[in-house]
Amino acid sequence: MVIDLRGWRLPLATLVLAGGLAAFIQLWVEPAVRGVVAVVADRPIPIRLVETQRPVVALTLEVPATADDEATTAVVAELRRLGLQATFFLSPDWVERHPAAAARLAAAQQELGVLGPPGSATAGTAASGPADVALRWQQLVGQTPSLYRPAADGGARAELAAAARSYLVVAWSHQVLGEPSSRQAARLAARLRPGDILRLTVAGETTSRWVALLAAALPQRGLGLVPAGQLVYRDAYYVEPHTGRQRLLPQPAAAASEEVVVSHPVRGNGPSAGPVFEVPAARGMMSLAINVDWGEEYLPAMLGILASHGVRATFFPTGRWAEKFPELVTRIHQAGHELGNHGYAHDHPTQLSEGQLAASLERTAAVLERVTGTRPRLYAPPYGEWDERVVRHAAALGYRTILWTLDTIDWQRPPAEKILQRILPRARSGAIVLMHPTEPTVAALPALISGLQAAGFRLVPVGELLEAGGLAKTPVRPAAGR
């Protein structure tokens, strides 16, 4: 791991040997507390959530190049009615097309950030974009942005360029999808915790309706909405590599311990550790995580492609699917792939009681053990839905909770070329690629594997990725009574 302090790039081992964490903080952090950038494997780590005692959640809205002026105006009007501020991540192309609308956003005291280029952008565009945007926005709206949001299918070069220009690279922990309703807003509010970052995309009147519903639901949970800039730390911080959690650096008087991330790059095996999004310390390695609750007709082809390329993956079947198709579970296991637990019936895990979650995991584990003789130790929550309670209870049952770094979004059945665009430009050490058995996934898989292997990545099961990054597959269980 390398700590990058505004140009001072020092190996972690050197810092530790030179006098330990406390000396490192006193000598290096205090004189250069502004703009500390956490870098692992030579890339910035996007901030997904913030450790804070304040009862607030960040509201961020993405305005892509295709967004219309009316939808953005409607959202701003709703925010004004509610007396709220949010962060608008604007596509530079949208700003050029709608400079007056961008100026109105700034005049309405809304925070502006830069929405990164998509994966189809050229390397030159990605590298020069942040500098050009800062200058152009100052001319158009009189505001210089300081926050950068990577596009869902953007490239790592753009993130590096943004961090080099002192932008904070801000992703999200929860995204708002589907038709707005009071019930859906209440469900989402129940999942949120202080420091979470919400992502909405401006798209028609549904966006302003979502804003109104969330503004009504969150206070019932004791939470308020703020712009991302009022949540994130600007000085003396670090970002946990596998969770994206931004935390303040400890004070110089604090003793070094294994719980401090800068002295232990991939955080903890304890029950308080969050889910694993990626394992940056697993240099030159990546994993394919395949969630299965349907699509059995495409699995034989996927298994054949994986075998022909010498790749082993991790499959996360639901228990109900495994009961219906034990012969496919057997084929997956006999081919040397890893099997994880996706719950029994694809329920929303945050809506389950601890007893129901335990029953779902145990029922699935029993099916897999009966078919293969082995029990899973990795848990992929359906819908990517999690909170600290779910992760803690899964750990108590012996499971490491696994999410993903890169999403193929193949359940939408995009063209195979789109899947490649979403993954290949953002490939990096320790990344976990989420996919499902679909027709476009089968079409894209040979080129995806070949492209990742040509880039020097070895594709391994998630369990091996964890081990290579210093994380045990099974987390330490909490002590009795905790």
Looking at domain 285-468, its CATH class is alpha beta
Express each pLDDT in 276-303 by its tens digit.
Answer: 989 988 999 999 999 999 999 999 999 9
Round to whole Å and give the CA distance between 97 and 69: 10
Query: What tokens does 401 get?
Result: 């909770």
Is the fold of 53-230 the same as that of 285-468? yes
- Cα distances (Å, whole numbers) of residue 394 to 28, 225, 288: 39, 29, 22
- Cα distances (Å, whole numbers) of residue 140 to 4, 92, 104: 33, 11, 11
Round to whole Å and give the CA distance between 379 and 344: 11
- Cα distances (Å, whole numbers) of residue 152 to 159, 259, 308: 12, 31, 30
Instruction: Name the strand (E) or helix (H) holding 437.
Output: none
Name the pTM for this structure: 0.52
Q: Return the amino acid letter for 61.
A: L
Q: What pLDDT does residue 282 have?
A: 92
Domain chopping of the chain, boundaries? 2-48+232-263, 53-230, 285-468
DSSP 49: E
Q: What pLDDT does residue 14 have?
A: 44
Q: Return the amino acid letter for 358.
A: A
CA quadruple 145, 146, 152, 156: dihedral positive or negative? positive
User: pLDDT tens string for the chain (482 positions)?
Assistant: 434 433 344 444 444 444 443 343 343 333 333 334 444 444 578 899 999 988 999 999 999 988 888 889 999 999 999 999 999 999 888 888 888 888 888 888 888 998 987 654 443 343 345 455 666 666 666 667 889 898 765 555 666 666 656 688 999 999 888 889 999 999 999 999 999 999 999 987 889 999 999 999 999 889 999 999 999 987 777 788 778 888 886 544 333 332 222 222 233 334 345 789 899 889 999 999 999 999 999 999 999 999 999 999 999 999 999 999 999 999 999 999 999 999 999 888 888 899 999 999 999 999 999 999 999 999 999 988 888 889 999 999 999 999 998 889 888 888 999 999 989 998 999 999 999 999 999 999 999 999 999 999 999 999 999 999 888 766 645 444 33
Round to whole Å and give the CA distance between 368 and 374: 7
Express each pLDDT in 129-148 by its tens digit.
Answer: 545 566 666 666 666 788 98
Q: In what order do the strands lie in the sheet with 49-50?
A: 49-50, 245-248, 237-239
Q: What pLDDT does residue 256 have?
A: 32
Q: What pLDDT does residue 403 have?
A: 92
Domain 53-230 of CATH type 3.20.20.370:
yes
